[in-house]
Amino acid sequence: MINSKRINIKIKDQKFRKSLSLDKPTLMERYKIMYKETFQTSPPGSSANVIFQSKNIIKHKTVLDLGCGAGRLSLYASKYAKHVTGIDYIDKAIEYSNKFTKMCNVKNVDFLVGDIDFLKEDKYDVIMMAEVLQHVDNPLKTLKKCKKLLNKNGHLIISIPSFNNFRGTVWLTLQSLFNLPMSLTDTFQISADDMQSMCQKTGFKITKLIGTAWDWAWTEWGIDDLKRRVFLATTDAKLVQIADFKAMNKWLESNLTFNKQFINYLVNNKIIKKRPTDTLLKIPKNANIKEKKYLDDGNTKVNLYYCDTLPFNRMGEGTTYILKKI
């Protein structure tokens, strides 16, 4: 039965939320505000997943981490790589990166403030771009740039969100029908077919496509994220008056049992597998709780599953692509 009574969803940090509204026209401005509040700008488990899939590729190699944020992935990569360079266009992010490097006493990494589009063309063996390509102005141009920055036979490792799942279907339905701003920072939703076509145009071959972030795609995490996101997007779109959040949330929750059965089926049939948890960085005792949480992504309990079997590998909330320059 549909109940049209509105509910009051409380957003903890009203001031932060307001400052991050659509009034800020550029992505850079929004990221600037975000980094004033937090250094955790990617989903839990995302850096650990990328490292798990790429540690053999980066071994003893020179690595460029584009859009490195607060530097967690670069620091993880430094455990295996010869040298890692992390670049981000937000100076506060690079400030955090340098702070964490010092705290964790990592030597073979350096961080620079820079815009992907204006980098001078040094050469690297591997480029990593984790949760970045969906934000840039022109993903095709960025891939072309990456090709120029790579040595012969170099690898490009990309992680981006995927929408072939429960969360993604709700997201894209609302976004395409009502133009709801479901994310304040995603410029594009890039499907596996889009990636294939961009690779053909730029001279890359997809050697592996791995589906990750299954909790965000199908279970409580994704459903909680949707509840929050739909409310905020509806508010930003000034459609609150016609929205029935209670009914929406009830319907979202009603999918949980089936979604979990689906995930259990994939687990029981070994279609999705669990990556081991791992301590990827020596975190000093003086790190505070937030810093520990951020730096200890390898031991995060969510988003541990991955899948490299077609067609299921498209159905996580995240996709990691291993591309080879051809």
Q: Which region, judged by CB under 6 A, interacts with ligand SAM, from 111-119, 223-231, 238-246, 317-325?
A: 111-119
- What lies within 8 Å, CB to CB, of 183 at 6+ separation is 229
Query: Is 248 a binder of ligand SAM (CB under 6 A)?
Result: no
Q: Does 47 bind ligand SAM (CB under 6 A)?
A: yes
User: Which C-beta is closer to ligand SAM: that of 125 or that of 297?
Assistant: 297
Burial grade of 309 (CB within 10 A; 0-12, 13-18, 19 or more): middle
Residues near ligand SAM (CB under 6 A), total: 22
Does residue 127 touch ligand SAM according to CB under 6 A? no
75 binds ligand SAM (CB under 6 A): no
Q: Is 89 in the site for ligand SAM (CB under 6 A)?
A: yes
Told to check if 67 binds ligand SAM by CB under 6 A, we report: yes
Three-state DSSP class for 157?
strand
Q: How far is the CB of 19 from ligand SAM (least distance, A)?
A: 16
DSSP 88-127: ES-HHHHHHHHHHHHHTT--SEEEEE--GGG-----EEEE
What is residue 227's three-state secondary structure? Answer: helix
Q: Which tokens is 264 given? A: 């259990």
Which is it for strands 318-325 and 204-212: parallel, antiparallel or unpaired? antiparallel
In this chain, which stretch among 38-46, 191-199, 211-219, 276-284 interacts with ligand SAM, using CB under 6 A?
Answer: 38-46
Binding site residues, ligand SAM, CB under 6 A: 31, 41-42, 46-47, 67-69, 72-73, 88-90, 93, 115-117, 130-132, 135-136
